[in-house]
Structure 1
Amino acid sequence: MEITQWVIMIAAGILGGMLNAVAGGGSFITLPALILVGVPPVSANATGTAALLPGYIASTWRFRREIELPTGLNFATLVLITILGGCIGASILLHTNEQVFSILIPWLILFATIMFFIGPRLLDSGVLSSKKPLITRSGYCNRKTIAIFCLFSVCVYGGYFNGGLGIILLAVLGLMGQTNLHGMNGLKNLVSSLITFIAVVIYAIGGVIASEQLLIMGAAAIVGGYAGAAFAYRFSKQVLQVFIVAVGFIMSLGFFLM
């Protein structure tokens, strides 16, 4: 590889790791960077997801004491839904034509960016934090089915395309009646880690991960994750969110114009 490609991947890995550590949105950086250095779109998506996996695991460990399950869902059911959804999403990606995925990329980034923009505002306003959860004693079966379907759909999305996964999960958890943000963050990180891990395993079996780029970007992402903790105290979360949303819109526009 050329020196320019090394620089792009290292810079994207560090920045992506930093963003994921403090606010999310790291895949908005890693995916375009990998495509820029010549990695095919499907492989770029898989490789970028794998590179950011250590950050998800570290975040899960950090919030392990705050993990709070939704009412009516036990841990075994949650893991089963997550793994099954992640497997299906990752398998769909493996069977997606490169040209088709190239067409979908700007729409996926745009969708994730919009969710990243409106999600925190809906959570802060309480719109998604209903005091009446979807799973209650009255109409238990129907409500539980709806909740499981919503969570399963997000897991399929996460296995297919990791961008914006965290904020979409928070939205679903809010609809399921959770109001404790720390507990929601803990569960969000756990589910994200499981989805990403199973997806990466399937990507690896399918042979779509670019190993050389993964090693470079993955190492840089770990450094970025540690650095992100320090930067988190120097910049407000609102500033970081505005930056990520701007990057997302610019990236999606760039792919639309390609």
Structure 2
Amino acid sequence: MFLFDILLLFSAGFLSSAVNAIAGGGTFLTFGAMTLVGVPPIMANATSSVTQFPGYVTSALAYRDEIRAAGREAWLLAGLSFVGSLGGALILVSMSNPEFRSLVPWLLLAATAIFAAGPYLRPKNLHPEQPVSRWGLAGQFVTSIYGGFFGAGMGIMMLAVLGLTKGGDYHRLNALKNFIAVTIALVAILVFVTGGVVAWLPALIMIPGGALGGYAGVWMARRVPQAVIRALVVAIGLLLTWYYFAG
């Protein structure tokens, strides 16, 4: 691996965590960087799950009081998501790289659109908190399949589903989202590791960068408008979409 590749991967890990701390969308950076250095699409997607996992855990820990208050409902959603993400991850590892690559531009386009619409999908507390409905459980199951299969934009999708079918305080919904994301990512990682589709060298380069980026993101969040970061991520998503459609 060339020095440029190492610097690119480390920078992607750093920036992905920083962007996640501000506006989300870090998966675009890690996935894109790995494909640029020659990692096959399926391995790049699987390895992104590994590099993003520590951030999901720390976010859930920060919301541990809200998660504990959610009680059985948090575990119900996590259990449902366990099954869905397992299915999504198994579908991914059963595919060939050419098959998955043909889907990548469409997945990136959909994820970019979801990310761009994020501010409009964010729950506005239009109705009081209630137990998650059957439609909410069905929506979360579908989202967890997507999360196990690809994952970019997953958090925004979960917040939209929970906001529309459960309602209540945004931070309680965000806490549930983070807890569920840990479950989805953990299941996906176990499947990917077992299936031998994790590129460990790029992962080991990006994870330390991600750890530093998480701290830097807090500093950046106080100084860089979210709209600027969001526009940058959307631009990267569109650039990657064009790259895969043209390739």
Same fold (TM over 0.5): yes
CA distance in 2, matches of 1:122, 1:37: 34
C-alpha contact 1:85 1:159 (8 A) present in aligned 2: yes
Residue of structure 2 in register with 1:140 after alignment: none
The answer as to 2:82 corresponding to 1:92 is: no
Structure 2: tracts of 5 or more residues without a match: none
C-alpha contact 1:22 1:229 (8 A) present in aligned 2: yes
Residue 135 of structure 1 and its aligned partner are, at CA, apart by 5.6
The CA deviation string for residues 225-257 of structure 1, in whole angstroms up to 9 with x for no partner, is: 111111111112222222212221122122111
Distance 1:190 1:135, change over 3 A: closer
Q: Percentage identity across aligned positions?
A: 36
Q: Which amino acid aligns with 1:256?
A: F
Deviates more, 1:176-185 or 1:47-56: 176-185
Residue 134 of structure 1 and its aligned partner are, at CA, apart by 8.5
Residue 95 of structure 1 and its aligned partner are, at CA, apart by 0.6
Residue of structure 2 in register with 1:6 after alignment: 6
Residue 122 of structure 1 and its aligned partner are, at CA, apart by 3.4
Residue 204 of structure 1 and its aligned partner are, at CA, apart by 0.3
The CA deviation string for residues 55-114 of structure 1, in whole angstroms up to 9 with x for no partner, is: 1111111122233649xx723322210111111111111011111111111111111111
CA distance in 2, matches of 1:89, 1:122: 23
Residue of structure 2 in register with 1:76 after alignment: 75
Q: Which amino acid aligns with 1:106?
A: P
CA distance in 2, matches of 1:84, 1:26: 25
The answer as to 2:12 corresponding to 1:29 is: no
TM, length-normalised to structure 1: 0.89
Residue 179 of structure 1 and its aligned partner are, at CA, apart by 3.1
Residue of structure 2 in register with 1:44 after alignment: 44
C-alpha contact 1:130 1:177 (8 A) present in aligned 2: no
Residue of structure 1 in register with 2:60 after alignment: 60
Deviates more, 1:234-243 or 1:182-191: 234-243
TM, length-normalised to structure 2: 0.93
C-alpha contact 1:34 1:44 (8 A) present in aligned 2: yes
Residue 9 of structure 1 and its aligned partner are, at CA, apart by 0.6
RMSD: 1.9
CA distance in 1, matches of 2:128, 2:170: 16
CA distance in 1, matches of 2:243, 2:168: 37
The answer as to 2:108 corresponding to 1:112 is: no
Stretches (4+) displaced over 4 A: 132-136
Deviates more, 1:242-251 or 1:26-35: 242-251
C-alpha contact 2:136 2:166 (8 A) present in aligned 1: no
CA distance in 1, matches of 2:144, 2:54: 19
